[in-house]
Structure formats: C-alpha cells, structure tokens
Amino acid sequence: MEWQAPAIVLEARPHGEGAAVVSVLTEDHGRHAGLVHGGASRAQSGLWQPGNLVEVRWRGRLAEQLGSLSGEMVHPTAALALDEPLTLALLQSACALATDALPEREAQPRIFSGLLALMAQLGRGAPALLADYIRWEALLLEGLGYGLDLSVCAVTGAAENLTHVSPRSGRAVSAEAAAPYRDRLLPLPLFLLGGQDERDPAEWLKGLRLTGHFLERDAFGARHRAVPPARERLVSRIAASLQPAPAPHG
C-alpha cells in the first residue's frame, strides 16, 4: 500500500542506528507515523523538524503496519522560529498537542487546515498568531468531542455580554448570570467571540487557561495522561511576560 500527501511534521524519535520514527499530520490520513531510514542523520534531520511542511510518501505492505516514510521539503517552518523563543514555544506546543491528543490514522481535516495556517504564518511571530493558536486549541477540543459552546449564555440564553465559561459544561455565561459565581467560572477572552484584544498577553493567558482546563480534564485526563510539557512552557513564558520588571538597585 502507498500514499502521498502534504504533511506537517509533528515529532521525530531516533530509532536504531540512524533511523527515526516520524509522526506527521495529513488532511486525509490524520496523524500517521512511519519509519524514516536515515531520518536521524545529519543529512535528513533538518527535514524532519517539528512544524516543517513536507511532501511525504508512505509505503507499507499492510495498512496496519508502521511502514516507511520519505519526504521532500515544501516549507522549512521550524527555521522561522529558532531565533524567537515565544514563537518556538508556540510551534512546539502545537506539535506536541497534535502528537499526544489526536487518535492515530483518523482524518481531521479542520485541525490539519488550522495547524497548516498557523505554520504557514509563523514568520509573522507569536504576538500576531497567539489568538489564532488558542482558537486552534478550541478546534482541537471540538475535533476530539469536547467542543466549547460560546454561542449563548447557559443560564439566560442571551447572546450578549458573554464574559465567562462554566468549567463543568464548557458553555458561556453572561456577566449578569456570572456575577454570583465569578470565582468559580473561567474568564472568556473577547477574541474568542470575534472581539478585540488579540495582542494582549493577559487575554492570551485567559484563553490558554480556558482551553487548558478542558484539555487537562477531558482530552488528556480521560486517558490519565498529562498535558504535554511543551504547552506548559508556552503558558509559563506568557505568564512571565506579565510580571513587573524588577526595580533597579541603588
């Protein structure tokens, strides 16, 4: 059996002498792994960096086998993030979530398209992309069957002035209905409703805490697994940027 498709590299793990087991995400074949002969060599290691867009060819005698992968570079996305720590953290978080959360060999065209759009624009830098990244996490939750419902208030049915989300149901709550329970609800960033503040780190942190709650409880908690450390590093880096600078001595 054989297929060829554009793919986003998610992970490459050394295997044996010079080979690598590479996981990629494709539109029609979902998250798919294969053995790359020489994949850990100096000549090929740059090709199989997480985030790169690669044209891959998978071959296997049987569909259920690991099979072998080969590929050619289409867009060297990973290189765009090497000099920008926050952008690199975003890339690593996205690839780690897709690797650990998505079921193997199950088509997820919307998740693939969303991640492809993020990777294609990585050169713009993380501040321009973090709101879209958080929307992609919400899309990932939806694809896994844990989608948020931010259309109307869960209590009143109103579509206006939505400010919070129920951590139990994942449904939006209006400011009026949320007032008595604010300390038990998750703040809802405006950009998830099509509002502004797409470049506000405080709003990014709200969004990451919102999606992170459901990733931890449902997408990973249901399988008794931890959220990937790469995502925790992204959250920590943004949280650190909000800390006030230390006062100068003297």
Rounding to the nearest 10 degrees, give the CA dihedral for residues 110, 98, 207, 167.
100
pLDDT in tens, 3-37: 999 999 999 999 988 899 999 999 999 999 999 99
pLDDT in tens, 37-67: 999 998 898 999 999 999 999 999 888 889 9
E strands within 144-217?
162-165, 172-174, 186-187
Q: Is 15 helix (H, G, I), strand (E, B) or coil?
A: strand
pLDDT in tens, 228-241: 999 999 999 999 98
The residues near 31 (Cβ < 8 Å, ≥ 6 apart) are: 10, 23, 24, 25, 98, 99, 102, 103, 104, 105, 106, 108
Sequence letter at residue 64: E
What does pTM read for this prediction? Answer: 0.94
Q: Which domains does the chain have, with CATH numbers?
A: 2-75 (2.40.50.140), 85-150+188-242 (no CATH)
